[in-house]
Structure 1
């Protein structure tokens, strides 16, 4: 894909096709990191802390049965703890 630099106020910008944004899972208002490597400008989506963790835990079956932990009682909880 080729594009041209466009004047945007006092700055310049480029248009990135919807197909390319979809391929990279980039949506409006996503934060992007731009940096120069040699004679190239590289654009990378900034990942949020813990992004994708829930999906990875589900894939590893680590969240399965999590609700069972809430029903775990012990002697201290039953006899000594004041709610």
Structure 2
């Protein structure tokens, strides 16, 4: 368990510039990144005991975050025409 919030640019340092570009140019990517950020903040609050939550709900949030992260990674690494 980490008490440092995840950040897309920190999770994918090789794609930091592309993350910024896609947030500005791709509405779907920007929406997914914002959802990732929101869920990530909530997980961080749970991890730091600022927001009590039962284990099942916390695990569900972590799964949602992982799915979003996978989807964001797929968008980051897709080839552009």
TM-score norm. by structure 1 comes to: 0.24
Structure number with the higher strand fraction is: 1
Structure of higher RCO (CA pairs closer than 8 Å, 6+ residues apart): 2
